[in-house]
């Protein structure tokens, strides 16, 4: 991930990862090469079943 600060876009590294398994939620604290700090959160938005179990084609909903 690149730094989100305008005109920076430097490479970043993860300073800290904090998982909250109870909420299916992960926090990450980043710092970029220019010492900007920011955090991201990771959230499960979709669970897809094993593709092998799926039917050949999914019909579009209309």
**Comparison of 10 and 19: residue with beta carbon closer to Zn ion:** 10
Report the distance separating Cα 37 and Cα 41, nearest Å: 14
Among the listed residues 26, 28, 31, 36, the single contact to Zn ion using CB under 5 A: 36
Token output for 29:
């604290």
H helices of 1-62, in order, are none
Per the CB < 8 A criterion, the answer to whether 36 and 48 are in contact is no
With binding defined as CB under 5 A, does residue 32 bind Zn ion? Answer: yes
**Comparison of 14 and 19: residue with beta carbon closer to Zn ion:** 14
Of residues 7 through 26, those in contact with Zn ion by CB under 5 A are 8, 10
**Chain contacts with Zn ion (rule: CB under 5 A):** 3, 5, 8, 10, 32, 34, 36
């Amino acid at each position: 991930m690149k730094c989100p600060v305008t005109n920076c876009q430097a490479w970043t590294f993860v300073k800290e990862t904090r998982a909250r398994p109870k909420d299916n939620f992960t926090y990450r604290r980043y710092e970029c090469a220019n010492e900007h700090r920011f955090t991201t959160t990771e959230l499960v938005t979709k669970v897809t079943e094993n593709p092998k179990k799926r039917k050949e084609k999914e019909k579009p909903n209309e």
